[in-house]
């Protein structure tokens, strides 16, 4: 039996989801029906964790992402919403699928099968907690950046570096194009795969795939040599960070 929670503030959508679930899955038990960010945080802080959450994104008192930010829970989530603009964010918050309203039986059935397959895989490997660890450590593959009035989905593998200047964070891709990021370097550092990205100093985060090498600088520091020299960025690793940088280069 799958113990599930539904977070939805629109009654027709809630009733439609319950009806569809009952039609396609007799192993799903609805343990709670919640309708706001506040109510959800309070519930999740007091009750035993469920197996799965079905959640809208836009609730009356904010985005449901705040629920997972504040509660710190690691429960798989199937997001169901009327907007596709939150898709990239959803997978940062335990999301295993993202469905658009009105949800149909086929889409919901596929999402449930995805959950069952993940659960079976990690159960067969003797630890259901590994599923939750997978969700918590699953790093994003893309990010939304801005170019003028345009919002662009940029693959992180194409990002050469992030840097901050005058409190603005810029993103530079492999073709030398520059974009604006809406997060600071500390927030980006939390989200990025540390096998690929390294916080070189207070101003820069760099991608290992675009580091040609490094050399000594002022005896105790390191200067990074990028594969795109025309970017004209002088990136220095401090004496304190130099050992970590070398270990990252050798082991990533």
pTM of full prediction above 0.75: no
Given this model, what pLDDT does residue 125 score? 46
For residue 147, the 8-state DSSP code is: E
Residue 9 backbone dihedrals phi, psi, to 5 degrees: -105, 0
Given this model, what pLDDT does residue 130 score? 54
* pLDDT of 224 strictly over 90: yes
Mean pLDDT of the chain: 85
**How many whole angstroms separate alpha carbon 186 and alpha carbon 44?**
28
pLDDT digits (tens, 9 = 90+) for 53-91: 999 998 988 888 888 877 777 788 899 988 777 776 777
Query: Which residue did the predictor score with more confidence, 86 or 160?
Result: 160
CA trace torsion 105, 69, 166, 150 (10° rounding): 10
| Whole-number Cα distances in Å, 161 to 38, 82, 208, 209 | 37, 34, 9, 10
Given this model, what pLDDT does residue 7 score? 94
Domains of the chain: 2-137 (3.40.50.2300), 142-251 (2.40.50.1020)
């Amino acid at each position: 039996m799958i113990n599930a929670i539904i977070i939805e503030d629109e009654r027709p959508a809630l009733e439609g989801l319950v009806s569809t679930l009952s039609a396609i899955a007799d192993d799903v038990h609805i343990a709670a029906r919640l309708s706001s960010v506040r109510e959800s945080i309070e519930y999740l802080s007091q009750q035993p964790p469920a197996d799965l959450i079905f959640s809208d994104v836009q609730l009356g008192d904010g985005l449901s992402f705040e629920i997972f930010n504040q509660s710190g829970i690691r429960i798989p989530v199937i997001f169901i919403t009327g907007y596709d603009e939150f898709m990239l964010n959803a997978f940062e918050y335990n999301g295993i699928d993202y469905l658009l309203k009105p949800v149909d039986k086929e889409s919901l059935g596929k999402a449930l099968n995805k959950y069952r397959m993940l659960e079976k895989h990690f159960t067969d490997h003797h630890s259901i907690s590994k599923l939750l660890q997978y969700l918590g450590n699953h790093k994003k593959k893309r990010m939304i950046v801005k170019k003028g009035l345009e919002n662009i989905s940029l693959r992180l593998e194409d990002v050469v570096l992030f840097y901050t200047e005058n409190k603005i964070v810029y993103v530079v891709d492999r073709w030398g194009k520059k974009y604006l990021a809406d997060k600071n370097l500390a927030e980006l550092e939390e989200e990025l795969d540390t096998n690929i990205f390294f916080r070189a100093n207070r101003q820069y985060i760099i991608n290992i795939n675009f580091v040609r090498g490094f050399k000594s600088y002022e005896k105790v520091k390191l200067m990074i040599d990028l594969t795109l020299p025309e970017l004209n960025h002088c990136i220095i690793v401090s004496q304190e960070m130099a050992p970590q940088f070398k270990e990252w280069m050798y082991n990533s």
